Amino acid sequence: MSLIIRNGRVVDPSSGIDAQQDVWIADGRIHKVGKALKVPAGVEVIDAASKVVCPGFIDMHVHLREPGFEYKETIASGTRAAAAGGFTAVACMANTFPVNDNRAVTDYILARAKVEGVVRVYPIGAVTRNLEGKQLAEMAEQAEAGCVAFSDDGQCVMNAELYRRAMEYALPFGTPVISHAEDCHLAHDAPMHEGIVSTELGLSGQPGAAEDVMVARDIILAELTGAHLHIAHISTAGAVRLVRDARARGVRVTAEVTPHHLLLTDDAVRSYDPNVKMAPPLRTKRDVEACLEALVDGTIDCVATDHAPHALAEKEGEFAEAANGIVGLETAVPLLLDRLVRPGVLDLPTLVTRLSAAPARLLGLPGGTLAPGAGADVTILDLEQPWSVNPAAFQSRGRNTPFAGFTGTGAPWMTLVGGVKVTP
């Protein structure tokens, strides 16, 4: 079983390639990358002229909702959404029901993914049992079963002592601990960012300090333990500064940012549309600019969507009572291509790195490269493809996006996982 992707612009920063080349795939692996490759007759040809051929994109922060919340999303629908959005692998958070805090749940997720998943699925295990922040989850067995990181995402582990122990305990597995950095007292369940917009709208606001305080604490704990700390969905200028300073000191801290925290501000909440409600909340222009700058300079390692599907009834009522989170798998790449790459805020190879090699490196995954021998996970982009966001056409069961009706140019064109075409 062999195929060749002909004449695309191959952008593989991990191999230092940005040139028009062919990518020859054999037996599910990258066989050879080069100009005008000669292949035997019978090899399937994909004509990628005027397309961009990249290592498969990896979204290290999604909520697949299965087991327990299949009415929001399933591993089948979530991975179809990933493939449609140009992702060949996802790492799924532990806040399922039951929580992925033990090997049985990890095994279940991987078994379902094997049967129904169309992209690679890497589970992230809980740090504490039932995400309660009281007792460590069985991380060693979970790591053995295939968890690639540990996080209580959705909740912050408020007990610093316990979090310190979690970081230490995870050291031998070589897995990062992913922090949902939100001081729950400072955030006090406020549904939006605190500032002039919350003041005008009469919604209670949480200050950016709710995130900064916890990022600072976690950096200090990472320094104490030597653990690899990864900051999920970083969203404030303050947190960015803390991460930048810590890295300069040599602390093992990495960070991800979501497309919505790069593209929207709390101004969007003026609509009271629950589809702009998420944790952390949309911040100010200053925060957006700091996140963009950090994404460009590498202080922020990667983009992750925090894909958080919900049922319509959970996202159509009163703002303060609506569920947190938005879907992102099917909008991320088009939005980033149109809003960041097209105007020159971020160059294409850097975006490709932030979406492939970087998350692979952070989680210790194979992939993120088109080097010969690597699994043939490939994302092909069409930079001239016009698009408009139509939630009704999503593969995801979630329709909760603030980007409905947005239009732009540049979208994923084809996704291959292990050398097999999964979309279109």
Partner 1 sequence: MGWKRKDLLGMQDLDATEITDVLDTAASMKEIATREIKKVPTLRGKTVVNLFYESSTRTRTSFEIAGKWLSADVINFSASGSSAEKGESLLDTARNIEAMSPDVVVVRHRASGAPALLARHLRCGVINAGDGAHEHPTQALLDLMTIREKKGHLEGLNVTIVGDVAHSRVARSDIFGMRKMGITVTVAGPPTLIPAQCQELGVKVSHRLEEAIAHADVIMMLRLQHERMQGGFIPSIREYSRVWGLSLARLAPCRPDVLIMHPGPVNRGVELAPEVADSRYSVILEQVSNGVAVRMAVLYLLAGSKKA
Rounded-to-integer distance, Cα 146 and Cα 125, Å: 9
Per CB under 8 A, the list member of 74, 198, 305, 396 interacting with partner 1 is: 198
127 and 177 in contact (C-beta within 8 Å)? yes
Residue 45 contacts partner 1 per CB under 8 A: no
Q: Choose, from 306, 338, 377, 382, the residue flagged as catalytic.
A: 306
User: Does residue number 154 form part of the binding site for partner 1 (CB under 8 A)?
Assistant: no
Token pair of 333 as six digits: 């790449």
Task: Select 259 or 274, whichever has its Cβ closest to partner 1.
Answer: 274
Which of the ranges 158-166, 203-211, 342-350, 409-417 carries the binding residues for partner 1, by CB under 8 A?
Answer: 203-211
Binders of partner 1 among residues 294 to 313 (CB under 8 A) are 313
Q: 33 with 22: CB under 8 angstroms?
A: yes
Q: How far apart are CA 195 and CA 193, in angstroms?
A: 6
Task: Determine if 286 is a binding residue for partner 1 (CB under 8 A).
Answer: no
Question: What phi and psi, each to the nearest 5 degrees, are found at residue 178?
Answer: -105, 120
- Annotation says 306 is catalytic: yes
Residue 324 makes contact with partner 1 by CB under 8 A: no
| Near partner 1 by CB under 8 A: residue from 318, 343, 373, 392 | 318
Q: Is 316 in the site for partner 1 (CB under 8 A)?
A: yes
- By CB under 8 A, name the one of 44, 47, 144, 321 that touches partner 1: 321
d(CA 88, CA 377): 6
Q: How many helices (H) and strands (E) does the chain have?
A: 13, 18
Pick between residue 202 and residue 373 the one whose CB is nearest to partner 1: 202
Kindly report the backbone phi and psi dihedral angles of residue 84, in degrees, each rounded to the nearest multiple of 5, phi listed first: -65, -30
259-278 positions binding partner 1, by CB under 8 A: 272
Residue 201 CB, shortest distance to partner 1, in Å, is: 6
Q: Going edge to edge, which strands form the sheet with 87-92?
A: 57-62, 87-92, 120-123
CB of 271 to partner 1, least distance (A): 8
71 makes contact with partner 1 (CB under 8 A)? no
CB nearer to partner 1: pick between 203 and 358: 203
Which residue of 78, 205, 259, 398 would you call a contact of partner 1, by CB under 8 A?
Answer: 205
**Does 201 help bind partner 1 (rule: CB under 8 A)?**
yes
Q: Which region among 45-53, 119-127, 314-322, 387-395 touches partner 1 (by CB under 8 A)?
A: 314-322
Asked whether 415 and 56 are in contact (CB, 8 A), the reply is yes
Name the residue among 3, 2, 5 with its Cα closest to residue 413.
5
Tell me how far, at minimum, the Cβ of 306 lies from partner 1, in Å.
23
- Name, in order, each residue with C-beta under 8 angstroms of 285's C-beta and a sequence gap of 6 or more: 265
Tokens of 106: 């990890």
| 92 neighbors 99 (Cβ within 8 angstroms) | no
- Report if residue 195 touches partner 1, rule: CB under 8 A: yes
- The angle, 0 to 180 degrees and rounded to 10, between the axes of the packed helices 103-116 and 75-84 is 60
Q: Which of 171, 177, 255, 248 is nearest to 212 (CA)?
A: 255
User: Which residues inside 333-372 make contact with partner 1, applying CB under 8 A?
Assistant: none
Q: What positions carry a catalytic annotation?
A: 306
Interaction site with partner 1 (CB under 8 A): 194-196, 198-205, 207, 272, 313, 316-321
